[in-house]
Each structure stands twice: as structure tokens, then as C-alpha cells.
Amino acid sequence: MPAPVPPAHPEPAARPVTDVVRWGVFGCLLVPAVLIAHGDSAGGAATVALGLAAVTAVCRALLRRSARTAAHAGSRSAEGAHRSDRTSRVVRR
């Protein structure tokens, strides 16, 4: 029996954060080019490019932080860190 062939493209959940960042960089390059092509000034297009680059950088940092937090939380829940040994008590008055 031949060995199974891995898929050419990974599942969407398995794609790294870099795919999202690549699209952000593509937008940072495309939007100013379209603005210039439609008659906007180079200075205005440069300002838009810088703003998009800043947003992309912040999103990248947040996505990486989220991935680290999720990985850390996943390892903790596998160990049972979120389970409590205390039993619930009913307070009667």
C-alpha cells in the first residue's frame, strides 16, 4: 500500500499568520498604486501606505500574541489546570 500523499495546500486553520500578513502587505502596495492611478497625489498615497503599514504591523503583533496565548492555554487545559478540585457548596440561610 503506498504512503498517503499530504495535501498540496494545508487546511485554512493550519495556515500560519504570515498568510494574513502577506495579504496586508499586498494591500499596502496596491492601494497607493490605485490612488495614484486615479489622480491622487503621491504624498496622499504615501500617507495611506504608511497608515496601512502601521495597521498591518499592529494586526501581525496581535495575531502572533493570540496564537501564543492559544497555544499556551491549550497546553494548560490538557494538563487540567482549569479544573477545580473544590466541590460546589450550596449556601442555605
* Tens of pLDDT, residues 12-32: 555 677 888 899 999 999 999
In a domain, 80, yes or no: no
At residue 39, the pLDDT reads 95
In a domain, 31, yes or no: yes
Work out how many domains the chain is built from and give that number. 1
Band of the pLDDT at 73, cuts 50, 70, 90?
Answer: confident
In a domain, 5, yes or no: no
Q: What is the average pLDDT across 42-66?
A: 93
Domain that holds residue 55: 16-70
In a domain, 6, yes or no: no
Residue 73 backbone phi and psi in degrees, to 5:
-65, -35
The Cα–Cα gap between 49 and 73 comes to 36
- Provide the whole-model pTM: 0.61
